[in-house]
Structure 1
């Protein structure tokens, strides 16, 4: 029966596919049979029939790997010796990993805040203007590009050529510097500013998301509230501060926390543009390097657990704010 787990030949793979389809048909047939006879079968059995199998697969695909990762984080690099919390101590006390954590914090603070601020400002400026749809579409376009694609685009933007006679800059950023009389710079090498130039890529991508959500929230502000504020003499920045921002606070929280969670998992940008070199390593990229390049599964698992723990407060805060918003409504 090993072919069920590791089919080798084409015949075994086809047989496994047939077995899978047959099991699916049998389960769905049983569920539909039970639903058709509600008087004979308790409702909780019917509900379990519908959600039980998906929950089982989710538990196997999500909960099981998480528990395995947590277990491996207490062992050495080969998984043969129990070392307790040594991997976590290493992650928080060694200079190399402390720098990784600081760079990750910079990502989590700067990317969500700047993306949200730029998106909010843009949404307010183009709201109900003549070219609103076109203006929003231009900012939203980066959201349609994959992280790797965006990283490659910006890698060309930051491209550096030595400042020598006869050598022309092909990177837009350095060409602009040359036009204004400044020497070209190696944007992706110079520390610590190279981290900022990587974060700019994330901001470029996420600003469209922030603008879209916040623009919809602004349009959802009741007209009577806006009219009442205008009758009270609020205009311009006063209207923005006392009416717009408080009214869209739930949307702001959602945007900030969503971008922050995406930033914590920032792997593609760093991997594509610098491969984590020159002091740009983040936690998501570091545990990949430890696991697949250096073969240290214990430390890699500990870093993965740290990343998961960092996400939990953001999710908890997001859920709490959404519940508060529902209670107010």
Structure 2
């Protein structure tokens, strides 16, 4: 009870401190003498604190992590590229890379494909908004909540007992033996991927549906006058027109997949050959007493995410220019 009280006290103190600092900045900026570069002072006071927080909360940890990736497990002696060698040669390091590659290979493609199908089917429905709400609902919950829901779906009990897991209940009804789904590699990795797809399909559907509605009616009418069927309409009109949006959705989901952690950590803890880069980074840095390995995985993750982020920014800028 005391632990909860202390946490609640810290939360209240943090909120009060935030408002006090914000009020102090507002007061200083509002009363800053005009003759002393008031406009520049406003910029400094408003941008300075966020920049300081980013520096100490993001830039410094990034530099520190990079340095630790070249040191021994205790973060003391320099070991050169040994930690990166472990990532690409040791079975445990390769497991993280392999599983992450599987996630990236399947999750974005399937999520975008299903989301596009939903967007096409739901478009022009009478109760379109209601259908979109139910499909988008998984996106509104956290990854941990989604993982807990699906843990119940995959829950295991011996065949002779009454089943609480939906999947094993169906298996038992069919007269088959129940399975420990999350303990059997490599299929357990694909089951975790299915959870991520369930979460991301709603996001893909909403964005792609908006893009489809943005297709000019003149273009659609012209295609119909040319006698195209539904399949030709999709391949020659709809898909080429919304291609930039498809690319943005695909890269956004890819970034999320590269960083996936909560689903794996909640459902299997990274055990049974399901660990990915983010989970391995967490385990070795905080539980496995191998800061060098964990830091090396963090740097690898950063290297993998960075080009995808730059590509997405480039696509967004191109879309903005085309919209003008």
In the superposition, the TM-score normalised over structure 2's length comes to 0.89
Q: Is the 8 A contact 2:29 2:41 kept in 1?
A: no
1:31 matches 2:25: no
Moved over 6 A (4+): 16-22
Name the counterpart of 1:3.
Answer: none
Name the counterpart of 1:297.
Answer: 291
Superposed counterparts of 1:139-288, under 5 Å: 139-164=135-160, 167-288=161-282
Structure 1 residue 45 displacement after superposition: 5.0
Going from structure 1 to structure 2, the CA distance change for 1:139 and 1:26 (only over 3 Å counts) comes to: closer
The whole-number CA distance in structure 1 between the counterparts of 2:262 and 2:29 is 42
Residue of structure 1 aligned with 2:71, choices 71, 75, 91: 75
3-state SS of the aligned residue for 2:248? helix
1:255-300 per-residue CA deviation (whole Å, 9 max, x = no partner) reads: 1111111111211111111111111011111111101111111111
Q: Is the 8 A contact 2:159 2:172 kept in 1?
A: no
The whole-number CA distance in structure 2 between the counterparts of 1:18 and 1:326 is 40
The whole-number CA distance in structure 2 between the counterparts of 1:192 and 1:99 is 11
Name the counterpart of 2:107.
Answer: 111
Name the counterpart of 1:48.
Answer: 44
| Aligned-pair Cα RMSD in Å | 2.3
The whole-number CA distance in structure 2 between the counterparts of 1:316 and 1:247 is 23
The whole-number CA distance in structure 1 between the counterparts of 2:282 and 2:74 is 15
The whole-number CA distance in structure 1 between the counterparts of 2:143 and 2:112 is 18
1:128 matches 2:139: no
Going from structure 1 to structure 2, the CA distance change for 1:225 and 1:277 (only over 3 Å counts) comes to: same
Structure 1 residue 131 displacement after superposition: 2.6
The whole-number CA distance in structure 1 between the counterparts of 2:16 and 2:173 is 65
Going from structure 1 to structure 2, the CA distance change for 1:23 and 1:202 (only over 3 Å counts) comes to: closer
Name the counterpart of 1:7.
Answer: none
In the superposition, the TM-score normalised over structure 1's length comes to 0.88
Q: Gaps spanning 5+ residues in structure 1: where?
A: 1-9
Name the counterpart of 2:4.
Answer: none
The whole-number CA distance in structure 1 between the counterparts of 2:104 and 2:18 is 42
1:135-187 per-residue CA deviation (whole Å, 9 max, x = no partner) reads: 211111111222111111111111122233xx222211112122233332221
The whole-number CA distance in structure 2 between the counterparts of 1:161 and 1:22 is 54
